[in-house]
Structures are given as C-alpha cells and as structure tokens.
Amino acid sequence: MLGALSKPAPSVDVAVEVPAPTFGPRWPWLNYRYHNRRNAYLAHIKQELEGVEAIRSIEVEAFKGDHRRPLLVLTPTAHTGGVKVRLWPSIALVDDVKGGVNSKKKGAGKKGESEDATKGGGIMERPKLNPHRCNVRRQSWKDGPEPSTPHYSQGILQEGSFKQHLAVLHSWLGRECTGVKQAVVLLKVWLAQRGSLSALDSFDGFSLLCLAAFLLQERRLNPRMEVLPALMVMLQFLAETDLTETGTKPLLLKGASSPLDPSLFVGAFVACLLIEETGGNAFTYLSRSACAELQEEANRALKLLRTDVRSASTVLFLTPFPFLRTFDYYLRLPLRSKSEQATDAVSVATAQEEERVCCDLPVASYLSRKAAQILSLALGNRARRVRALPAACCVEQNLGRKGERGWVWVGISIDPMQALRLVDRGPPAEEETKAREFRAFWGQKAELRRFKDGAIVEAVVWGGEGAVTAYTGGDRHKIVEEIMRYTLGYHLRHRFPPSVATSLRILGNELVMLLELSKERSANGASASSSLPSPSLTPEAMTKAALTALDSLTTKLKEGVSSCLPLAIEAVAPLSPALRHTSLFPPFPHPLVHGASRLLKRLEGQQVSRTVAPLPIQVQLQKSNKWPDDLEALRRAQTAFLLQIARSLERDPEVKASLAGPNALDMMLDGYVFRASLSVFQESSLLGLEGERVEKEEVGRWTERAPTHHRLIQACHAANPLYGRVVRLCSIWLSNHLLPPIPSDSALLSSGTASSSPCLPLEALELLVAALFSPPGRPPGSLLAGLLAFLSLLSTHDWHSTPLLVDPHHTLLPSDHEAAEKAFEKHQGKAGVREGGGSMMYLLAPYDKERGWRPSWTSSSCPEPVILARMKALAAISLQSLLTWMEEGGKEGGWRAAVVPSSPFQAASSPLLQPPQFDVLIRFKPAWVGPLFSGPYREGWRAWEEVQKGCKALRCGHLYKNLAGAQAQKRVVGMDPVSEYQKKLVKRYGGLALFFMAGAEGGHREGLAVRFRPRLFLSSSFSVLQSRGKIPIKVKPDEEKRENIDGEGVPFMLPNVGEVLSDFKRLGEEIVEEVLVL
C-alpha cells in the first residue's frame, strides 16, 4: 500500500483482528496468556484455510525468529511474481481518552477493569504495556524487585497498533514521496544483501519506513527528493548517529494525539524511535552489535557512493555479503549445554540475570547479546566488530539445518595488527575502582605486573602459566581463541563449564596446519623435525633472515664493487617471491652453500638435497647512453660487467661468485644463492627495432615491471602481515587442484622464455589476493576468511565483461579507472570470440598505466581460457563445500574435501573413487617423487621436510664436516628436471594437450595429468608443419565426393595417439615410471 516492496521475497502483511472474548476477562497481558490464546486462534485459522484452492501452501513462520509470535505465510495458487501474504493476528486496545498513551489511571489493575475493557471492544489499556512494567511474574520475585519486560510488552502493543501505524506512515509518506520510498526500497535491498533484514535484532521494513518519516519530520529529507540524494541522507544519518545513544535520548515521531513522555522509555531499550500516536518503539529489537554493524556498513557505503558511484551499485546492491563470508572468526554456542549448578558469585549473578532477562527476551536473543557484550570487552581493540546472531535467525540465513534452534553464531572481525599481542594492560594499581572492575572481569587471569617502562598495572598475559615466551611467532594466532574460550567459560560457566568451553568450535585457524613448517606446532603434535634449520623459526623470520643477507650483499656491491665498474651500482632490487613472503616455501640457508658452516655443524650426519634454489635479484646500474646500439654487443657487455663483479668479489672471503649464464651471476653468502642480472633500459628498445615482440615483452616485464611489482607486494604484506600467508594458502589450493601457480622468475632465469605452464602466474595470484586487501572491501583477518574471499572473487568475477584493477593503496583516480575500462573494451573488440567461448583474465595493477593499461602478467594464453573456466568452476565447488562445512558446525577435518581433494593418481588406482577427469596420467619414478608422502599438499611440515631432503635421485650423502668440500662440489644450483620435462612436453605437444602438474613448484610433485584438446581427434588436410603426432592417409576421390587432380587420392592426417604416448615416455625416460591411459 505504501509502494515499498522489495525482492527477492516481497510480502503483503494482512492483519486479522482476534475477537476480544477470545482472551477472557482476567488480565490477558500477564504471563504469556495473550500469546497462548493468540497462537491458538492462529492455529484455528490455519486449519480452516488448508482446504482453500486459491492457496498453494501455508507455512508457520516466527516473526524475525521470535517463536513466541508466529505468523501464517500464504502462497497463492495464482502467479503473483513471488509475492506472499503474511497473516498477523491483531487486537483492539482501549485508549484512555483523558490521559492518552501516558495516562496512569487510578485503580489500574483492579479485577473489574479488564471486564469493562472487553465490553468496550478492547482487551487491555495501553498503560498496561508501558516498558517499565513487569508483565511476566514469578513466585521467586515476591521478595525482590520485579524486572521490567519492555520487549514483551512492545510485542503486544505493536499487534494492537497496526491501523494507527499505517495511518502515521501514510501521513508522512504520501504520493509526493516517491523518491524517498524508492530510497527505502534500496535500503531494504542493501540490508538484505548483508543478511541484516531478516535478523531478529536489526532493521526491518517497518523500522526503515519509520526512520524515513522521522527524517521527513526533521526536514533532513524533502518529499520531492530524488532517489540518490534521499538514499545518501538516510545513510548519512545511520553513519553519523550512534543509535545506542537514542536509548537514553529517544527520538520521537510526532502525531496528532496528546504528547508522549519519552522518559518512560529511557533505559528500557538499546535504541528508541517512539511513535507518539501509539507509544510504540520502531527500534524495539535493535541490539548493540547490530547498531555497530549498521553504523560501520553505512560509513562504508557512504564513502563508496561519494568516491566511486559507478561501482557502488554493484557493491552495495548486487553483491551478497552473507554472515559466513563477512567475519574472520566464527563461534557456535549451543543453547542447551551441560549446565552446572551455579556456586560462585559470578555464576550465581549471571544465572539470576539470565532468568530475569529471559522473561522478556527469547533465550537465543539473551545469549547472543550477552556473548557479544563479553567478547567485545574481552577482545577490545583486537576486534573491529563482534556480531552475534540468534539461533532462529540462523535458520533463515541457512546457518544450520532447517528447524534447528539450538545454536547462536558469533562472528568476530579482527585487526591483524593488534590481535597478536601477548599482554593486555589494565589500569594502574592506584585507580582502585577501575582495578577492581578489571579483576572482576578477568578473574584469576588478572595480575599486578611491573613493565620495563616502570609502570605497575593490572595485566593479563596470554600463553599459559603467565609465561610470555609460551607463544612463539607462529603460534600467536591461538591467542584470540584462548581469549574467547576463557572469557565465555568464566562469565557463562553455568552454561559452559570448563569441559564445554575448551571444546567450543571456533572456526578461523583450521587451515594453519597447511602452513606450519614445524612438526611440533602442527595438528599432529609430534616432535620437531631435526632436518629443519630451526624448529622455532617461522616463514616470516626465515624471510627476514634472507633479506638481512641480501642487505649485507647490497652493501658489499655498492661499497666494494661499484668502484671497480665503469658505471656505479645504484640499487639491488629483490625479485624472488621468497623475498616478499609469498613463496610457498620460505628461503632457507643450504648447508652445501658457501657461508653455511654453522648450519653444516648442526646437521652433521643427516641427508639433504643437492639442489639449491637461487633467489633472483636485479642489479641496477647508473644510467648511461654509451651502451652499444647492437643487441648482441649489448648483451656481451652485460656479461662483461657480471664477470668484473665476480672478480671484484674474489677479494671478499664471505662471498663466492660464479657466472651462471650470459646475464646471470650466482653470488653465495650465508648459505643463500642470489642470482643477479643486469638491468639495461636500452635492451627493450633494441628488441623493438629488431621486431622481437615476444622477447621484448618478456625483457620489459623482467627489467621494468618486476621490481615495481615486488615493492607493491612487499608494501601489501607490511600493511597487513596476513597477506603473505593468504597467498601461500591460495597457492596450496591451486596446487592441490593441479593448477600450481608458476613464478615468472623461474622461467626467465632458466631458459629466458615464458612460463611453460598454461596456469596462473604467481604474480597474478599475488594481485588477486591484493584485491582482497584493497579498499573498499573488507580485508580478511584469518586464513579461512582469506581463502573464502579468494574463492568468491575467482568464481564470481565476470572476466568477459569486466577487468579487475587492483589498487591496494588507493592511488588511482577515477580517470585512470575509465582509461583502464576503455583499454579493456578495445582489447575485447580486437580479440573477438575466443576458443571455446572463453575469456581472458584481464588483471591490472597501478604500474600498468605506463603500458596503456595492458596486463603485465596475464594474457590470452596465460592462463588459457579453458584453464580460467576450470579455475572458476573448481573455486565455486570448493567455496560451497567450505560454506556447507561451516554451516554444519565445522567438524574436525571437514575442510579437507574442499582444500585437499583426492589426487587423480589415487583415483586411477581405485576407479570407483570418481570418474576420470583426464585422459592420461604420467607417473614419475619414486626416486624423483620423494619417499616421505604421496598425494596432495596436506601438511606444511611434511612438505617442508620433502624440500629439505629432496628426492632420492638428487640427494646428498650424509653430511660430515671433513667431507664438506667434496660434497659441496656436487651441489647443483637451479636444477629442476621435472619442470624441464614439462617444458619439453608443452613445447612439442602444447597445441594438442594440456598438462597439469600434480604438486607445488619447488616441492613434492607426483606426476603430470594430461587432457587432450578436441582438435587432436579431428582429421585435417596434410601439412608437414602440423604432422607431429599424426598419421598421413589417402582417401579415394569418390569417398570424399570431390575431384582429385592426380586421381590417386586426397592426403589427410589422423591422430596417432600411440606415437604421442610413446613420445611422452621417451622424453622423460629418466624420470617417468609409466604412462597410464584412463
């Protein structure tokens, strides 16, 4: 009737007035008598309507999850566009003509009062429903004060004021307010996409309409406003107003009746928007956590509308942000647990509070509000937001099976920069009142401590037994979980005794075991592996150690070597992903490399790999115009420069250098191998003159954009330490699905050509994850949240029609975004229809502006359209699997089906596991695979041991100090036979098949899975250039139904699969065990 319906679930509310005699003469407002008789009348209506042909179905629905106030939802048989009808029971209230809503009638509550009201057509007077009255009474409260029941009373009052509320809204939102009503519809869509519209403790359609009427009354809205200005005014009100303050200073929507006294409502509700006509509160059910969420979301929406209107409509109204993809940690609290008898003072007080509050609110609402309050105080600035959802609301948002009402979900969004601290400092001992409150909240965890700055304050230390060293850098993610378990177990111990509190399922850190490099910190709980350089080191600490070695080498090059060169060394730029925290395996000193004598002593008697992975760096010289104009001469000059650097380093005993290629110099320091190349800006221009377009692109990418990309990614990790761990986790997911990301440096340093894999480059993966940490989105605060966000982005982004411009530091202007979109449209127009109808991943970074907004790391063949489509499909399946696992409570190890699927090599040995997704499997010999484990990447410490020991074919003998010199001679830098074999296959058969590596780059690899392209099995005209893997045949002219000049037949080619398979075996004769046809 107001024109404010919104999809996807529009409904029309119909009020059915219940006859007054139904409730009887004796005080129907007390002790749920009204609810019991109202529900019985509703059940009778349902029974009568069940045989009506015009109604397809009748469902019973709790109003916003409140089981005390069920409704009937009718679905008409006729096509109505999805519109349903909700039947509300309503009543007639008796208005006191003399005093209006606020009257305190003399003799109220006497026996004959309700009888007179019933005769007049109403069942009770409005003053009986004032918020500070107690309408749910118990025998145990005779000796003490009775608690007020404002929510209970407001529920009855609202069902008696439908007509008055509708009249008030019509008076404010008339026909002239079209723009305002459309803004309300947009707000409903905005809230629905965030799961707030159906939440018990948040806004609904009636609350939004009342808010619009109030803003019209205050003249902040104008009846003739357009949609967008009205929407921004309402969002600005929600962003600037702390709705919890309205609980003590209520807002008033004025009417024609006698003035309403707002003081009656002070402190009764969290938020108040009073309707003077009826005394109702439009914000009755708002909770503190919902108010905080609304204010934060409104601020984000308002900022987006002001800065980027073009993308605002997609982000605000078309992109869903469900509960399970909004927060970093999730806690599921059971409503029915192993309760214990309250004995101590804290338990007794909490139990009494629960008994009183639950007379006014459902148990789920009380527990959700109490848990959010406790966790907000406990986490402090560790948490950006704490949000609790009552159990009945969880059913509507698919958080649990339909009909399940035994849980309360709590979501916590944390600040990674604050969440990992070990100590929470409280007030000083001199402030006795605050110190007493601090000790009362933290209990036995609180202690008086003296700190290095001389302060003596109350404090809480996390890590067990009060020891600061109990948590190492890699274990600090457990601090948030410990705080949550302890505070809930302490303040709600009557519900969650210690045995229950320690077993509460907290989702967020389950995937950490995939990244743990120490066995003692993994889920298995075994002792640390002795082959590790140091069990206590984390990937972050190991990367820092490698960067320290690089800084030392940079100083030696600038100060000792630069003077011996014609051009001074200006900078040394790191290029390896291992030096920016995103490599799957962190850099580690190798015992066979120069400068690792201390490591050699500790690992004496053990076996290690002979292969050493170099860390690419770039030496940037002073610019000069005296370089040769001939490309070959320039490259020989580069080699001469590197040889001069190597000779200069011979005087330094800490560094050992040797030439590894025409433009590659290996420098060994402190157990690391840094592979340096020279950057000369004239090289790409000379390539352009000679027409080497592909090689020019590769050289430009390596010399110009790679250092800039490295700095961008390093800045992302510095701003959020979780960034690097999320990239590594996404690499594991891709590797386990046979799509391992390949660093561009590995291809360029080995052969000078582009990557042999059609999969996603690691640099592109880094940009995809950087998009998750870029404004205006929510940066993830846990590994689980990061993986969910990555899978959602990969599976839902429309690469065919929209580029992805990653701007982590928000440095680009709107004009830059427009230019990037124009470049994308121009590219799409030239590309036309791609093979199989696929799309290209058009992924841009700020440094691509200099190239006319052309992607640096992706192209039409990297990743291939078919690979991109496969990634999208696998991401959607994994995302749904993870969400289902979370909805069911997050059972132990339930995430493995999405992150660690079964290997195709395991499926090949047991055909019943799944239908084959590939045509051929190439299994490597055990000596080249590694003896420790088989299958996908399952545990970080196992993969780390595999990298340390290496495969049997490339493993060194037992380390001994007296044999170190001879063993060091067997060292191999940058050798990777498995990758070289894959490159050979791609070079020879890349046009006929796709090759998927079963394993991660630099780690365990089990084999190759092959999927033939459809064109392999098509006959084609004979061509010498395309005859590889084909059988030439002749077809008679009459069979072909066309003339043949020589009359002997037409030459054609058919696939020779047998020859192709035998060639697979021959090319990898040293490492291939068998070629299995599925």
CA 476 to chain centroid, in Å, comes to 20
Average pLDDT of the residues in 982-1010: 83
Q: Does residue 758 have a pLDDT over 80?
A: no
* Token pair in block for residue 596: 């690792």
DSSP 3-state of 951:
coil
Residues 6+ apart with CB under 8 A from 801: none
Query: What local confidence, expressed as pLDDT, does residue 183 receive?
Result: 94
Residues 419-445, mean pLDDT to the nearest whole number:
91
For residue 556, what pLDDT is reported?
92
- The beta strand positions in 550-635, using DSSP E, are 569-574, 611-612, 615-621
User: Is pLDDT at 718 greater than 80 in this prediction?
Assistant: yes
Asked whether the beta carbons of 258 and 126 are under 8 A apart, the reply is no
* CA atoms lying within 13 Å on the CB side of residue 399: 26
Q: Tell which wins on pLDDT, 942 or 715.
A: 715
Angle made by CA atoms 802, 803, 806, in degrees to the nearest 5: 135
Query: Cα(135)–Cα(113) distance, rounded to whole angstroms?
Result: 16
H or E stretch covering 995 = strand 993-999
Alpha helices, DSSP H only, in 891-1036? Answer: 896-899, 904-909, 926-929, 940-949, 964-969, 977-989
> What is the C-alpha to C-alpha distance for residues 253 and 640, in angstroms, rounded to an integer?
84
Where does the pLDDT of residue 947 fall: very low under 50, low under 70, confident under 90, or very high at 90 and above? low
User: Cα separations (Å) of 198 from 7, 194, 886?
Assistant: 13, 10, 20
Taking residues 284-307, what's their average pLDDT?
91
pLDDT, residue 100, reads: 45
pLDDT-derived band at 945, boundaries 50, 70, 90 = low
In 1000-1071, DSSP assigns E strands to 1005-1012, 1020-1021, 1030-1035, 1050-1055
Kindly report, residue by residue over 862-892, the tens digit of the pLDDT: 888 889 999 999 999 999 999 999 988 888 8
DSSP string, 872-914: HHHHHHHHHHHHHHHHTT--TTTTHHHHSPPPHHHHHHSTTS-
Q: What pLDDT is attached to residue 180? A: 92
Q: What is the pLDDT of residue 951?
A: 65
Q: Which of 23-27, 33-37, 400-404, 657-661 has the lowest mean pLDDT?
A: 400-404
- Whether residue 974 contacts residue 750, with contact meaning beta carbons closer than 8 Å, is answered with yes
Give me the mean pLDDT over the 104-131 stretch: 57
Q: Are 612 and 595 in contact (CB under 8 A)?
A: no
- The number of helix segments (H) and strand segments (E) in the chain equals 35, 30
What is the mean predicted confidence (pLDDT) over 936-957?
59
Question: What does the pLDDT average to over 409-430?
Answer: 90
Higher pLDDT, 466 or 782: 782
| The pLDDT of residue 167 is above 80 | yes
Phi first, then psi, for residue 15 (nearest 5°) are: -90, 130
Q: Which of 123, 163, 136, 199 is nearest to 275 (CA)?
A: 163
pLDDT score of 532 more than 50: no
Give the length of the chain: 1078
Q: How confident is the model at residue 417 (pLDDT cuts 50, 70, 90)?
A: confident
Which among 1000, 966, 983, 997 is positioned nearest to 1068, based on CA atoms?
983
In the numeric block, the tokens 């104008």 are attached to 222
pLDDT band for position 523 (cuts 50, 70, 90):
very low
Instruction: Judge if the upstream peptide bond of residue 863 is cis by omega within 30 degrees of 0.
Output: yes
Average confidence (pLDDT) over 303-308: 85
Whole-number percent of the chain with pLDDT over 70? 78
Q: Which residue has the higher pLDDT, 12 or 519?
A: 12
Cα three-residue angle 955-959-965, rounded to 5 degrees:
95
Average pLDDT over residues 29-45: 89
Write out pLDDT tens, residues 839-858.
789 999 999 998 899 998 98
pLDDT at 117 over 60: no
- Evaluate if residue 277 carries a pLDDT over 50: yes
What's residue 997's pLDDT?
Answer: 87
Specify the DSSP element, H or E, that contains 388.
strand 383-389
C-alpha span between 770 and 758 (Å, rounded): 22
Cα–Cα distance between 417 and 406 in angstroms, integer? 35
CB-CB contact of 289 with 386 (8 Å): yes
Cis previous bond, 741, omega within 30: no
pLDDT at 473 over 70: no
pLDDT exceeds 60 at position 102: no
Q: Per-residue confidence at 646, pLDDT binned at 50, 70, 90? A: very high
CA angle 531/537/541 to nearest 5° reads 130
Confidence of residue 529 (pLDDT cuts 50, 70, 90): very low
Residue 104, SS3 per DSSP: coil
Say which DSSP state 845 is in. -
In contact, 507 and 325? CB cutoff 8 Å: no
Q: Is residue 1025 pLDDT above 70, yes or no?
A: no
Of 518, 513, 544, which Cα lies nearest the Cα of 531? 518
Q: What's the confidence (pLDDT) of residue 918?
A: 87
- The C-alpha torsion from 699 through 702 and 705 to 706, rounded to 10°, is 180
Ramachandran region of residue 32, left (φ > 0), alpha (ψ -120 to 50) or beta? left
Q: Is residue 517 predicted with pLDDT exceeding 80?
A: no
Confidence of residue 240 (pLDDT cuts 50, 70, 90): very high
Q: Indicate if the pLDDT at residue 216 is higher than 90.
A: yes
3-class DSSP state of 58:
strand
pLDDT at 509: 86
**pLDDT value for 521:** 42
Q: What is the mean pLDDT of the chain?
A: 80
End-to-end CA distance of the chain: 64
pLDDT at 525 over 50: no
Judged against a pLDDT cut of 50, whether residue 194 lies above it is answered with: yes
Pairing of strands 672-679, 615-621: parallel
Q: Which of 447-456, 503-512, 740-749, 914-923 has the lowest mean pLDDT?
A: 740-749
User: In this predicted model, which residue has the larger pLDDT, 483 or 1036?
Assistant: 483
Could you give the C-alpha distances from 174 to 177, 179, 374, 418, in angstroms and in order? 6, 11, 44, 50
Model confidence pLDDT, tens digit, residues 1007-1023: 899 998 887 777 677 77
pLDDT confidence of residue 234: 96
For residue 603, what pLDDT is reported?
64
